[in-house]
Structure 1
């Protein structure tokens, strides 16, 4: 089963064989720093099953790993060990259809931020309910983004 994805600006695109994918939330401090989030949702796939239309930019995030990203828009695209790993992780949010995956586990739970785990009780607002944001989009594009 192939799933496609890419960065926000569309410069970096990929197709990944997700037949044996494993989706999870990583809570380690390095991933939090790399993505700016309380945790990051990853989809682990066979490295050989990932094909980038153009090679993403990579930065070495630690002595043992590097991360693909788009230098044009800054979208973080994943995580990979430098050596000896048959799998790599792609960021859930970079997939065109992220709702096809469900998390199976947490990783690096020693760094988990408990207050950010169960947020179902918090009130929510839909984007189109924020009049100031709607006005900005309408002035810029004449419509709301997809």
Structure 2
């Protein structure tokens, strides 16, 4: 179990949250609706009691993705943040947590949508970390102009632009 409270937020920093108690219930969902909502092959989420979430900066915008619930996201940068079920069901995206590495998924569901080659991903060749090779100038330029919010709470965001 990770140290409490858990914190996280969107890429641009417009929406931040704190979670008083998340438990150990992280999971992957492979259903087609989660794939579309995340723009990815699956959704990595953690169940959270509704009363445990405090939005500390901004609020997520929502899209009613089904008759059962809504998807929460940052209206400024589009980061997927949560699923808000109509019957008290809440999940937070693991990738939006400040320390996603602390929340290893325990289960998988929505298996009808899982890519048939999902189990083979560990055999896909690795090309190393971003930052080397022929694209080094591109990576340096991105680092210099990075506007991504850091993985911790800040007093204000964005920082003041330097002249």
TM-score band by shorter chain is 0.7 to 0.9
Deviation at 1:19, TM superposition (A): 4.3
Q: Does structure 2 conserve the Cα–Cα contact (< 8 Å) formed by 1:137 and 1:143?
A: no
Given the alignment, which residue of 93, 109, 116 partners 1:91? 93
Tell whether 2:134 aligns with 1:128.
no
Tell whether 2:45 aligns with 1:38.
no
Q: TM-score, normalised by structure 2?
A: 0.79
Deviation at 1:128, TM superposition (A): 1.4
1:112 corresponds to which residue? Answer: 114
Is the alpha carbon distance of 1:58 and 1:137 closer, same or farther for their aligned partners in structure 2, counting shifts above 3 Å?
A: same
1:25 corresponds to which residue? Answer: 28
2:81 corresponds to which residue? Answer: 77
Q: Does structure 1 conserve the Cα–Cα contact (< 8 Å) formed by 2:81 and 2:93?
A: yes
Deviation at 1:40, TM superposition (A): 1.0
- Quote the RMSD (CA, aligned, Å): 2.0
Q: Deviations over 1:37-76 (max 9, x none)?
A: 1111101111110111221111111111101100110000
Q: Does structure 2 conserve the Cα–Cα contact (< 8 Å) formed by 1:15 and 1:50?
A: yes
Q: Distance between the aligned counterparts of 2:97 and 2:133, measured in 1? A: 26
Q: Distance between the aligned counterparts of 1:117 and 1:89, measured in 2? A: 24
Deviation at 1:18, TM superposition (A): 3.5
Q: Which runs of 5+ in 1 are unaligned?
A: none
Q: Does structure 2 conserve the Cα–Cα contact (< 8 Å) formed by 1:67 and 1:76?
A: yes
More strand by share: 1
Q: Does structure 2 conserve the Cα–Cα contact (< 8 Å) formed by 1:17 and 1:45?
A: no
Q: Does structure 1 conserve the Cα–Cα contact (< 8 Å) formed by 2:131 and 2:140?
A: no
Q: Which runs of 5+ in 2 are unaligned?
A: 151-163
